[in-house]
Amino acid sequence: MNIIIKQEQEEDYKITEKVVKCAFANAEHSDENEHNLVCRLRNSNVFIPEFSLVAMDNDDNRIVGHILLTKIKINNEDQVVESLALAPVSVLPEYQNQGVGKLLITKALKKAKELKFNSIVVLGHPEYYPKFGFKKASIWGIKAPFEVSDEAFMAMELGENTLDKVSGFVEYPSVFFE
Ligand SMILES: CC(C)(COP(=O)(O)OP(=O)(O)OC[C@H]1O[C@@H](n2cnc3c(N)ncnc32)[C@H](O)[C@@H]1OP(=O)(O)O)[C@@H](O)C(=O)NCCC(=O)NCCS
């Protein structure tokens, strides 16, 4: 297996959506609509093309995984802070547990630092994301705008103490809920 991570191009869109749909087909917490979410996010004003990455199996020249980071806000009564949400990340079932997700997440986090974002949040498997540096968002007083278990809602500083003075409710763009 020879995996490379690259920015998704317009000609990849349809294939990527199939990969996302397949990845979530048997996932535990899925509304089976994640591929439509990716499509809506790409068409929205929170879309940053550099943050839509695909994993290519170079041996077969096929897309086997995808990740998307999107702009969000963390709000309290004193301030509005820009941040990112990691959602969704997808790997084809036959490629799972071979490090493809790790490659996608590592590359996306690197990109987020390069583009000078200070933090990132994720709603996901509490056993998976801490290995990348995510911690419970509640440590910083960062809350989801919906009911979710404390362990599953996580955040990560992308620089030293960049969440030090940040707390409040995450505001996802409305396109997440359409
Ligand atoms: C979650 C996902 C992106 C991980 O990608 P991957 O390429 O399989 O992951 P990696 O090979 O990099 O890492 C495998 C590790 O993830 C863990 N893992 C995979 N799926 C998991 C799950 N549903 N819950 C908890 N841990 C999981 C494995 O146990 C393994 O742990 P280890 O490194 O300690 O052995 C992929 O399994 C996937 O697409 N799943 C379906 C869609 C989904 O759930 N997306 C994430 C929404 S939060």
pLDDT band at 32 (very low <50, low <70, confident <90, very high): confident
Total count of domains within the chain = 1
Instruction: Give the count of beta carbons closer than 10 Å to the beta carbon of residue 95.
Output: 19
Out of 120, 122, 125, give the residue to mutate to test ligand 1, the one with the largest number of ligand atoms within 8 Å of its CB: 125
Q: Taking all residues of the chain, what is their mean pLDDT, rounded to a whole number? A: 96
In this prediction, residues 101-106 reach a mean pLDDT of 98
pLDDT for the residue numbered 30: 87
Q: What percent of the chain has pLDDT over 70?
A: 100
Q: Say which CATH number the domain at 59 has.
A: 3.40.630.30
Distance in Å, CA 97 to ligand 1 centroid? 6
pTM for the model: 0.95
Can you tell me the distance from the alpha carbon of 175 to that of 150, in angstroms, rounded to the nearest whole number? 24
Distance in Å, CA 48 to ligand 1 centroid? 24
Ligand 1: residues with CB < 6 A are 23-24, 27-28, 88-91, 96-102, 124-125, 127-128
Q: For residue 67, what are the domain limits?
A: 3-177
Out of 97, 107, 131, give the residue to mutate to test ligand 1, the one with the largest number of ligand atoms within 8 Å of its CB: 97
| pLDDT tens per residue, range 114-140 | 999 999 999 999 999 999 999 999 999
Can you tell me the distance from the alpha carbon of 5 to that of 23, in angstroms, rounded to the nearest whole number? 17
Q: Tell me the two tokens of residue 18.
A: 């199939």
Q: Which residue minimizes the CA distance to atom 30 of ligand 1? A: 97
pLDDT for the residue numbered 8: 98
Alpha carbon 37 to its chain centroid, in Å, reads 12
Nearest C-alpha neighbor of 66 from the set 17, 3, 122: 17
| pLDDT tens per residue, range 143-156 | 999 999 999 999 99
